[in-house]
């Protein structure tokens, strides 16, 4: 199998490394960077997408900047490639219907790169919700805080894609994972209200803070906090229901359940050893298995479209300072 990887930033590098270790594939890297060189015979580096497609790859990994995802995906889909598209799908809805039409006509397998769906704690929370462990869900609270300059210490954070609106940066689109797993848990929200904007002293023009309230079907309400300036990486998720509370945070990587009847906490899952890269390896293995079996992934193109639209509505709500009714 020949795999084309378009873009060779930090996430492109991670995927190439994981593909080499976990598949027996030839890899073609399409990048204009002149410093990318390999001695490995199974890797080719080509600076033109048209030239790269002449190598006849069958699978494409789209890991370039967010603003270029859709045009790249359309070109690869027209060539008949199954696609793995890094999150988020795009920073606008332009070209999405065209991509969906091509994917449907050619019966392509498309998976979005939402690696948090492969975090064992998030997977366990999803399982507990499916089993109605907390009874009827009433509310949820999620948080993702980090410090943008720490993301890539080897480069000036002001020059990265996350710090540029034109490339699809900003807190909401860049940290879309919480939106995605809330969507995985509860589906599409019905209404969204958000305070989103630039609040910190970071030297970037993009939104660096977002606090959103979303109301889902069955009267479920969630609060979501995202920021670029916390100072360290911290994630948490708390789901409250009529029978108890599910809680997880990224410091201890354990899922706990509070039994409302017994008035006590119980450990459901504790990750004694957490390797961040495992999520990325697992999502690649899952995708390659879907390609092999011609099976639609759980985090499909259509779900990527839904999640992206939620993110864009959060941004819209923040700009307009109004509640957005989601259609």
Query: How confident is the prediction along the chain (327 residues), in pLDDT tens digits per residue?
Result: 999 999 999 999 999 999 999 999 999 999 998 889 888 889 999 999 999 999 999 999 999 999 999 999 999 999 999 999 999 999 999 999 999 999 999 999 999 999 999 999 999 999 999 999 999 999 999 999 999 999 998 899 999 999 999 999 999 999 999 999 999 999 999 999 999 999 999 999 999 999 999 999 999 999 999 999 988 899 999 999 999 999 999 999 999 999 999 999 999 999 999 999 999 999 999 999 999 999 999 999 999 999 999 999 999 999 999 999 997
Q: Note every long-range contact of 267-272, with CB atoms under 8 Å and residues 24 or more positions apart, other chains counting.
A: 268/124, 268/128, 269/120, 269/121, 269/124, 271/120, 271/121
CA 226 – CA 82 distance, rounded (Å): 32
Q: Which domains does the chain have, with CATH numbers?
A: 2-113 (3.40.50.720), 116-273+300-325 (3.30.360.10)
Report pTM.
0.96
Tokens read off for 230: 């916390």
CA 232 – CA 227 distance, rounded (Å): 11
pLDDT at 34: 87
pLDDT at 39: 83
pLDDT at 232: 87
Tokens read off for 39: 């001695």
- Residue 38's alpha-carbon distances to 11, 43, 50, 118, 314, in angstroms, are 17, 7, 21, 30, 42
């Amino acid at each position: 199998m020949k795999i084309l990887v378009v873009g060779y930033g930090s996430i492109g590098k991670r995927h190439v490394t994981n593909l080499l270790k976990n598949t027996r594939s030839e890899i073609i890297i399409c990048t204009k960077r002149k410093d990318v060189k390999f001695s490995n015979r199974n890797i080719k580096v080509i600076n033109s997408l048209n030239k790269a497609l002449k190598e006849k790859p069958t699978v494409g990994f789209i890991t370039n900047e967010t603003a270029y995802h859709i045009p790249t995906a359309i070109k690869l889909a027209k060539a008949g490639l199954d696609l793995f598209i890094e999150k988020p799908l795009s920073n606008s809805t332009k070209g999405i219907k065209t991509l969906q039409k091509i994917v449907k006509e050619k019966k392509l397998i498309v998976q979005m790169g939402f690696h948090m769906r492969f975090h064992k704690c998030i997977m366990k929370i999803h399982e507990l919700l499916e089993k109605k462990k907390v009874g009827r869900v009433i509310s949820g609270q999620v948080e993702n805080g980090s410090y943008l300059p720490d993301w890539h210490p080897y480069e000036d954070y002001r020059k990265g894609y996350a710090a540029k609106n034109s490339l699809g940066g900003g807190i909401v689109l860049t940290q879309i994972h919480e939106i995605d797993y809330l969507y995985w848990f509860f589906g599409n929200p019905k209404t969204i209200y958000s305070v989103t904007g630039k609040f910190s002293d970071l030297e970037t023009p993009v939104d660096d803070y977002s606090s959103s309230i979303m109301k889902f079907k069955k009267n479920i309400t969630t609060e979501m906090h995202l920021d670029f300036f916390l100072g360290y990486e911290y994630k948490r998720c708390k789901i409250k229901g009529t029978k108890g509370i599910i809680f997880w945070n990224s410091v201890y990587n354990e899922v706990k359940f509070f039994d409302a009847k017994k008035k006590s906490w119980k450990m459901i899952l504790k990750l004694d050893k957490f390797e961040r890269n495992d999520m990325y390896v697992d999502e690649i293995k899952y995708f390659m298995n879907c390609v092999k079996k011609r099976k639609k992934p759980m985090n499909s193109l259509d779900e990527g479209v839904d999640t992206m639209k939620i993110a864009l509505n959060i941004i819209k709500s923040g700009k307009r300072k109004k509640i957005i009714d989601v259609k």
